[in-house]
Structure 1
């Protein structure tokens, strides 16, 4: 079933990329869409901070899976080329190792990366070739059969292609990514290059299924891109497309409840279903407002949606269920304006500790704390984009994975954050200075802002202050991940990193498309036909 459904009034909760994409797609279909964002700016985690001529992306900074962005823009009747000015990075990223070896540059081309592996470990080039061939096949299967499916029906999973690969899929699901990498190469840093995508999926290589080896197809074969102007340009373009399609985007609107009513002819008992009828929100001036709707889509954190916006009897995921789930990591962020150039760093940089097991045990183990030293990530977008820093200066974004724990605290400007957050940032700056050979780095920092887990909780209602979303462990991947439709409330859907298909900008775009498929009753496993059928945008029905 592919025809657009009759026009509905839709309330979207949350103005991050998933909420904006949902608003844009549904408005394109002719629905009357109102989006409500609690903060004064749109973008959610993909935000922007500007100060003293520096412009920082405050969240996502890796542009991977370009075909997902291409498809999304084509659905809206436009193209990536029309909306963004993309640059392919070469090197894609630089790897610094704790053992002091010269840094390794992962290049734009797969051929160069095979040569890189071979230069480190004889035979590793051919091993990488085999690894990436399987990763490419797994990626294509994921896109064609899993990522764009709502799992409202499991029939699409019974295709001949999936059935033929059941043995391989079982192995990829049951073996860890760490084990898969270890079977491929011996060198510890090469293993880390194959395993690090688990970190950006909210988990560790020993806890992520080796199915996620498909991520290596993206950075080692397909390349890493960057939108000039920063990722805030992506948010701006999607917001503009949503408004052009007719969506109303309201900021400073804090949603306090999802309104429900009994199903027709039934009373609302504790074990009965309900239907969504709209949302209540508080505006900047403290006034309470109601938005009536036929459909509600929450692109807010799922834990917040379920435990704060719905009564206990209507929660698909009660508090007891959350106690068994993995929130993924928290993060301490440091946004640094640095005087002078830093040729030692490239656009993306990864610093890997030798003992990864100890590093991840510190974050996810029974006695969690902040690793020291930590495996961390450093972005220097001024390498590529002169608009993000004043002339003669560099823009550094540092991410230190930490436990998802609000007690670590909040950040601040110029050292005004909580003690543990600032101490973590200090240690990261010292580590970068030592490992990258920039001994005077701390003295050259002329602007500093930190962010801690408590900021993620207060600004984005993130469960336990998590930075990315629920971890992609086996129990929280694919059809094991929380679904995108409420089990207790009809016409209530979910989008964003908490639900299927998962964490990351491309996944959030797909989650928006899955809402369209839900409203259409579309059970297919693949992407929707392009473009969406544009229809006249009617006024909301009162």
Structure 2
């Protein structure tokens, strides 16, 4: 049985690897010159920058994936623990170092707001319980059947789950602490989910388990090493990875024309036959029994399929809420920057103004970002000597902005569009001011920016979002786009656009959900370790 995986990001590489372990003959096609997608790497003049993801969270998800592939995170990656987990800078207060430890977090909260120490212990107990319950019942399921969710644990906690899903994260945080700094420490993980605390269900308070209790790790060499590890295990499993190959359509045929008769599921109108692709040697056709599209879902459906075979209509897409885009600023800086931790957050006192601009569809654009706004800064050279030449530092500044391609793109050495470069200048000035590095701008020796138009052009990202559809209630869990086409048998989806959602760990889980869908496995937990090597039967993929 032959499978084609479209897209060489984390979800595509992981899907290809697991399919090969299942016994498929797998070809992975990546349009760009290198694999990685949002987790690609850019290097210049001895500096190395992670283009996108930079937080290594949910380590058990990585460990589980590698175990399924017969290896381990320890064998594939050099992981170090970050202490502090991050440093938080505030517009009106002195910075705070945040450590991934329950008692350290309780002591920090108590030092700022008497009584908050005990409350944060309770909050983190709840976050830990919700996180592990999500791993057992909500993240590793395809939602092809809801019956497995009707188990004793879920039913017993149903009233509490209902409250967590119908109450906003902002409301839950405000009931826990009063100090603005503490509220922001608890609320900023919503940005990782492509949303704001006001739009995010309080179920996602589970994210605080990751940074305040569980620990923040870093893979030496950056997230590019995670991608290289995924590539290694895929190639060891026999995956044929081809770069510079752009898929131009997913090819299909009527079921009755198949040499292997196929009974279509309800609503399905065709079966997949492969993909049309343009590569270094010109146009080609790759036949396949299974196609896994690990590109953004909107790109897959709107560009690669005819209208009659799309699961989601233009009207459906108009109703979806995109996560933020981002202006990314990659800086090589002369001299040391001890004022910054490996991860640093710069949190504006009135941060709702940024969220309002990003998520209010009625907002006029282009408009200047709030001054100040909230930004994230990565200084991987604090931990990784290979990230910058001797005597230099590398900085990545992320400024959340509206998902709007009209805002423009970036470039090298100020060659980007005016709006993007202005946002970058303001962010650099803010970091310099708040971190007390007055000469930061003068010390920059390498500069590159990326804007919403770049995400759309380079990664075919829907509306230029840097993350994917936001994790609002209507776009989470069983309400998020599923991973199987309703119109085409043998066409499955993976990546941040579909269940379970945004982030590299979620992309690894989405790859596993491809396997569960093929097996007809409706269980809610991870696959057993190690994954058995199975011969693929003659049943048609995805039927």
TM (norm. structure 1) is 0.96
Counterpart for residue 488 of structure 2: 489
Kept in 2, the 8 Å contact 1:27–1:537? The answer is: no
Give the CA deviation at 1:534: 2.7
Unpaired segments ≥5 residues, structure 1: 1-7
- The answer to whether 1:283 aligns with 2:279 is yes
SS in 2 for 1:300: coil
CA RMSD of aligned residues (A): 1.7
Q: Equivalent residue for 1:135?
A: 127
Distance 1:427 1:133 in 2: 39
- Residue 47 (structure 1) shift: 0.4
Is 1:302 aligned to residue 304 of structure 2? no
- 2:318, 2:210 → 1: CA distance? 33
Are 1:88 and 1:108, in contact at CA under 8 Å, matched by a contact in 2? Answer: no
| Residue in 2 that maps onto 1:513 | 512
* Equivalent position of 2:411 in the other structure: 412
* Cα distance in structure 1, aligned partners of 2:174 and 2:139: 27
Judged with a 3 Å threshold, the aligned counterparts in structure 2 of structure 1 residues 503 and 272 are, in CA distance, closer, same or farther, namely closer
**Which residues in structure 2 correspond to 1:79-478 (within 5 Å)?**
79-99=72-92, 101-264=93-256, 273-285=269-281, 287-365=282-360, 366-367=362-363, 369=367, 370-478=369-477
**How far 1:45 moved relative to its partner?**
0.5
Asked whether the equivalents of residues 268 and 489 of structure 2 are also in contact (C-alpha less than 8 Å), the reply is no
Deviation at 1:240, TM superposition (A): 1.1
Deviation per residue, 1:79-98 (Å, 9 max, x gap): 01000000010000010111
Distance in 1, matches of 2:347 and 2:167, equals 23
Residues 1:54 and 2:47 are matched in the alignment? yes
Cα separation, 2, equivalents of 1:187 and 1:481: 34
Task: Give CA-to-partner distance per residue, 1:167-216, whole Å, 9 cap, x none.
Answer: 11111111111110000000001001111111110010000000000000
- Per-residue deviation, 1:220: 0.3
Write the distance in 1 (CA, Å) between the matches of 2:280 and 2:335: 41
CA distance in 2, matches of 1:410, 1:399: 14
Please state how far the C-alpha of 1:284 moved relative to its aligned partner.
2.9
Q: Distance in 2 between matches of 1:414 and 1:534?
A: 50
Unaligned stretches of 5+ in structure 2? none
Partners of 2:424 and 2:449 within 8 A in 1: yes
Separation in 2, partners of 1:444, 1:273: 60
* Counterpart-to-counterpart distance in 2, 1:476 and 1:371: 27
Deviations 1:397-427 (A, max 9, x none): 0000000011111111111111111111000
Structure-2 separation of matches of 1:468 and 1:32: 30
Residue of structure 2 in register with 1:35 after alignment? 28
Paired residue secondary structure (2:88): strand
Number of residue equivalences: 529
Asked if the contact 1:363–1:371 (Cα under 8 Å) also holds between the matched residues in 2, the reply is no
1:536 CA drift (Å): 7.9
**What TM-score does the superposition give when structure 2 sets the normalisation length?**
0.95
